[in-house]
C-alpha cells in the first residue's frame, strides 16, 4: 500500500536496476517508491541459480536475491507497492503515474520495466524453465558444464551464446530455421572452428522431460523430424522490451528499447531508464544494478 501520494522519485519496476536506484536515491535522502507488478527481482526472480553476481561465492537463488535487494533499499526508507501501472504522464515537471491502487506524483521517474525473453511458445517451455530451459547462456551455462545443450536462434545473441557454451559444454547444437545465420560476419569463423553442430532449416517443435529437460524434437524443412538428446535448451530468439506504456513520450529505438546512454537520461527531463529496458551493449544483473547507481547520481544533479 502506498503511504503517500507524492514522492521525490518513483521507480517503475522492481528488478535489480530498479532496486539499486531506489537504494541509492533513498541513501541520498530522497523519498522513493518502487512500483512492482509481481515480485522483487523482475526476470531475475525466475532464475533458479544466479552464479555471476559478485559477493555470493556459492551462487544465490534469483528470487532470494531480489528479496535481498528490496530489503536493502527499504532499510534506507524506500517503499514498495505491488501494483500494476496503468498509465504515466512523464512530460511535465511533476510526473503523474496511475496505478491499480491510485495515482501518485513524483519529481523524477526511473523506468526499470525490463525486457522479457521471446519464448518459442512450446507446450512444456514454461514448466521446464529453470530445469533445462534457459534464456541466458552467461547466466545459466555453467550449470551445464560438460553436458549436451541445444541453442535455438540465428542472430547475434544465439551466435554469442553458442560460442560461450562451446567452451564449457561437451556438445552444442545450434538450431536455426534458415540455411544461414543472421548473425554478424564476425561470428562466422569462430563458429565454424568451435565444433558446434549446425541444424539448418529446422525448428524445435517439442521439449522433452519430466522434472528436467532430456531432449527436443526438431522438425526439418528438408526431411523427417529427429530427436536430439540434451540436458538444456537455450532460447535466443530475441527479447521484448516492456516499453509500450511509454511509447510516444520517451524516445525508443527501432526494436522498442528506450534510448538512454550511460547517464541513463532519456529525452525527457527528470525521466531516466535503467537495466534491460534501455539501449546498452550488455544486459546482466550487475549492469542493471550499476545503471541504478548512475541514475541516482544524475537525479541529484537534476534536483540541484
Q: Which residues are catalytic?
A: 136, 139-140
Q: What Rg, from alpha-carbon coordinates, does the chain have?
A: 21
Report CA torsion sign: 193, 196, 197, 200: negative
Report CA torsion sign: 220, 195, 147, 283: negative
How far, in Å, CA of 177 to CA of 102, rounded? 46
How far, in Å, CA of 227 to CA of 101, rounded? 49
28 touches 298 (CB < 8 A): no
**Residue spans of alpha helices (H) in 75-136:** none
How far, in Å, CA of 179 to CA of 162, rounded? 17
- By the 10 Å C-beta count (0-12 exposed, 13-18 middle, 19+ buried), 154 is classed as buried
Amino acid at each position: 500500500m502506498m503511504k503517500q501520494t507524492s514522492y521525490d522519485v518513483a521507480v517503475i519496476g522492481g528488478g535489480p536496476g530498479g532496486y539499486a536506484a531506489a537504494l541509492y536515491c533513498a541513501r541520498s535522502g530522497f523519498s522513493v517508491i518502487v512500483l512492482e507488478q509481481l515480485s522483487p527481482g523482475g526476470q531475475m526472480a525466475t532464475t533458479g541459480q544466479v552464479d555471476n553476481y559478485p559477493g555470493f561465492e556459492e551462487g544465490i537463488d534469483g528470487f532470494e536475491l531480489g528479496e535481498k535487494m528490496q530489503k536493502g533499499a527499504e532499510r534506507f526508507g524506500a517503499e514498495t507497492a505491488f501494483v500494476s501501472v496503468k498509465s504515466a504522464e512523464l512530460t511535465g515537471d511533476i510526473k503523474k503515474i496511475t496505478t491499480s491502487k491510485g495515482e501518485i506524483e513524483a519529481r523524477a521517474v526511473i523506468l526499470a520495466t525490463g525486457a522479457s525473453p521471446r519464448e518459442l511458445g512450446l507446450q512444456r517451455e514454461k514448466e521446464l524453465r529453470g530445469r533445462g530451459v534457459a534464456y541466458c547462456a552467461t547466466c545459466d551455462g555453467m550449470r551445464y558444464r560438460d553436458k549436451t545443450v541445444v541453442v535455438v536462434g540465428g542472430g547475434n545473441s544465439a551466435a554469442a551464446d553458442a560460442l560461450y557454451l562451446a567452451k564449457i559444454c561437451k556438445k552444442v547444437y545450434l538450431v536455426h530455421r534458415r540455411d544461414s545465420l543472421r548473425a554478424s560476419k564476425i561470428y562466422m569463423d569462430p563458429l565454424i572452428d568451435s565444433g558446434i553442430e549446425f541444424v539448418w532449416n529446422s525448428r524445435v517443435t517439442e521439449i522433452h522431460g519430466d522434472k528436467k529437460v532430456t531432449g527436443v524434437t526438431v522438425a526439418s524443412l528438408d526431411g523427417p523430424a529427429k530427436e536430439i538428446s540434451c540436458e538444456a535448451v537455450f532460447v535466443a530468439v530475441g527479447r521484448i522490451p516492456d516499453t509500450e506504456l511509454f511509447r510516444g513520450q520517451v524516445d525508443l529505438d527501432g526494436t522498442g528499447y528506450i534510448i538512454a546512454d550511460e547517464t541513463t537520461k532519456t529525452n525527457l527531463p527528470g525521466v531516466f531508464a535503467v537495466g534491460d529496458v534501455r539501449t546498452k551493449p550488455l544486459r546482466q544483473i550487475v549492469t542493471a544494478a550499476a545503471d541504478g547507481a548512475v541514475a541516482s547520481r544524475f537525479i541529484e544533479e537534476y534536483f540541484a
